[in-house]
Amino acid sequence: MRAQDARQEVRRLLAKGDPTTKRTRKTVLFNGAEREYFVQLPRDYEHRKTYWLLVAAHGGGGNGAEPRVGRYGHWADKLGLEAVVVTPTFHQTNAAAVRFPSLGEDEFLEAVIADMRSAHRLRERILLAGYSRGGQFSHRFALRNPELVFACAPQASGSWTTPDGRFLMEGRGEIKDPGAFLASIDLSDLQQRWRGNFDPRAVAPVAGLPAKPGAERIPFHVMCGTLDTRYAIAREFAASLKEAGYEIRAEWPRSPHGPTAPAHVAEWEKFRRRAVEFFLEITSRQSP
C-alpha cells in the first residue's frame, strides 16, 4: 500500500471508531475566566446513585471535545464502568502548565471536580487517565495529589517524574538534577516541542518533585507503544513504580505514537480500552 493510501485508510479507520456517546459542554469560572469541560453520563444514570468520576486528559494540541479523548468515555459506557466521565480542556498557551500540574492546571482540575460534585453524587477519589501530554499531566497529578486519586492510567508520556523525583525525558533518559540541568541548558538546541518542558523559569522548581506520602497506595496502569520513541522511558518509569512498592500493570501495544498504517489502528485503540478495563478491575475491590 502506498504511503498516501495508507494514511487515508488510517484516517478512515479512526473516524469509523470515533465515539458516538453524547457529551455535554460545561463551563466553570476559574481565575476570572470561563473554562470548559465536557461531561458524559452513564446510559442509565440515576441522580440518587453514587458514581466514580473518570477524568481523561487530552493530548497536545487537543481539547476536551476531541474524539480521541472521548474514547475513554466510549469504553466506560460499553464495558459498564459506573462512572461519570469528564474531559477538561487544558490550556494550550502554556505547554509547561499542562505537563506539570504544579504550575496551575492542577487547580483548574480541582475546580472542575468541585463543580461536578455540586451536581452529582461522586466517590471521594477520582480515576485519572491521559495519553501523550495527558499522560504527563495525569501521572504527576496523581503522585502529587494522592488524597484525590484512586487509580491512574498514564500513557505514552514524553517525560515522566518518578516517585523519588527523577526526571525521565524522551531522547535524553534520566536527568538526576532537573534544576541544575535546566539552569545550564541552551534552549535553542532543543526542538520547539520540548522547549516548554525545559523552560528553566517555570519547570525547574517542579520537574523533580517526588511523590507525596500516600501516593504509593495508588494503582497504576502504564502503557506505551513499542514503536513509539517514548517506549524506553515508559518502561523505566514503570520499573520505578515497581521498585517503590506501587501496584503496577504495564502493557506495550505494537504501535507508534500515532497510527501510521492500518495495522496500527487496532493496537492504538487498546490504550483507551485497557485503561477502562483496568479501572473496572480496581474499582471492583471497592464495596458499594
Higher pLDDT, residue 206 or 281: 281
Cα separation, 124 vs 241, whole angstroms: 24
The residue range of the domain holding 165 is 3-283
Total domains present in the chain: 1
Residue 49: per-residue pLDDT: 95
Q: Which long-range contacts (CB under 8 A, 24 or more apart) does 194-200 make?
A: 194/158, 194/169, 196/94, 196/95, 196/96, 196/99, 197/95, 197/96, 197/99, 197/158, 197/159, 197/169, 199/96
For residue 17, the model assigns a pLDDT of 64
Report whether pLDDT(88) > 90. Answer: yes
- Look at residue 110 in the predicted model and tell me its pLDDT: 97
Position 288 in a domain: no
What does the mean pLDDT of the chain come to? 89
CATH number at residue 132: 3.40.50.1820
- Average pLDDT of span 26-53: 95
Judge whether 62 lies within some domain. yes
Mention every residue, 6+ apart, whose C-beta is less than 8 A from residue 114. none
Note whether 234 and 224 are within 8 A (CB).
yes
* pLDDT of the residue at 4: 64
pLDDT higher than 80, residue 204: no
What pLDDT is recorded for position 236? 97
Is 41 part of a structural domain of the chain? yes
**What nine digits make up the cell of 218?**
495508588
Residue 89's pLDDT band, with cuts at 50, 70 and 90, is: very high
Give 231 or 68, the one with higher predicted confidence.
231
Identify the weakest region by mean pLDDT among 82-96, 113-127, 132-146, 272-286.
Answer: 82-96
Place of cell 502504564: 222
Q: Which of 169, 165, 154 is nearest to 205 (CA)?
A: 165
- Position 34 scores a pLDDT of 95
Residue 100 lies in a domain: yes
Q: Based on the number of CB atoms within 10 Å of its own CB, is 9 exposed (0-12), middle (13-18) or buried (19 or more)?
A: middle
Q: Tens digits of per-residue pLDDT, 156-202?
A: 999 999 999 999 988 888 887 777 776 676 666 666 666 566 666 67
The confidence score (pLDDT) of residue 64 equals 94
Asked whether residue 19 carries a pLDDT value surpassing 70, the answer given is: no
- Identify whether 47 is part of a domain: yes
Instruction: Say which amino acid occupies 263.
Output: A
Of the given ranges (98-112, 149-163, 215-229, 231-245), which has the lowest mean pLDDT? 98-112
Provide the pLDDT confidence category of residue 219 given band limits of 50, 70 and 90: very high
- Which pLDDT score, from 0 to 100, does residue 107 have? 95
The predicted pLDDT at position 3 comes to 60
Question: Mind listing the pLDDT tens digit for each residue in 60-69?
Answer: 888 999 988 9
Output the pLDDT for position 187.
63
Of 136 and 10, more confident: 136
The Cα–Cα gap between 97 and 203 comes to 9
